[in-house]
Amino acid sequence: MKRARNFNAGPAALPLEVLQRAQNEWLNIEDSGMSVMELSHRSAEFEKIHNHAIQTLKEIMEIPDNYEVLLLQGGASLQFSMIPMNILKDGKRADYVLTGSWSEKALKEAKKVGETAVVASSKDDTYTFIPKVTDIEMNEDAAYLHITSNNTIYGTQWKEFPETGSVPLVADMSSDILSRKIDVSKFGIIYAGAQKNLGPSGITVVIIRKDLITDNDKIPSMLNYSIHSKSNSLYNTPPTLAIYLLSLVLDWAKEQGGVEKLAQINEEKAKAIYDTIDNSNGFYKGHALSDSRSHMNVTFTLPTEEAEKQFLKEVKEAGFVGLNGHRSIGGCRASIYNAVPLSHCLELAAFMKKFQESYSAKETQAL
Residue 51 CB partners (closer than 8 Å, separation 6+)? 232
Nearest to 86 by CA among 214, 186, 221: 214
* CA distance to 69, 79, 207, 219, 228, per residue, from 63 (Å): 9, 20, 8, 27, 18
The catalytic position among 58, 102, 158, 269 is 102
Residue 74 Rama label (left phi>0; alpha psi -120 to 50; beta): left
Segments of the chain assigned E as strands = 5-6, 67-72, 93-98, 115-121, 144-148, 150-151, 156-157, 169-172, 189-193, 204-209, 285-286, 297-301, 320-321, 332-335
With beta carbons less than 8 A apart as the criterion, state whether 244 and 36 touch: yes
Catalytic annotation present for 102: yes
Catalytic annotation present for 141: no
365 CB burial (10 A radius; 0-12, 13-18, 19+): exposed
d(CA 75, CA 54): 17
Calculate the dihedral angle through the C-alpha atoms of 127, 130, 135, 139, rounding to the nearest 10 degrees: 90
The catalytic position among 58, 95, 158, 172 is 172
Please state, as a whole number, how many other Cβ atoms lie within 10 Å of the Cβ of residue 292.
21
d(CA 326, CA 66): 38
d(CA 325, CA 149): 19
Radius of gyration of the chain, Cα coordinates, nearest whole angstrom: 21
The catalytic position among 58, 158, 176, 196 is 196
d(CA 151, CA 127): 9
Catalytic annotation present for 196: yes
d(CA 222, CA 43): 22
Please state, as a whole number, how many other Cβ atoms lie within 10 Å of the Cβ of residue 294.
28
Pair type for strands 156-157 and 150-151: antiparallel
Residues known to be catalytic: 102, 172, 196
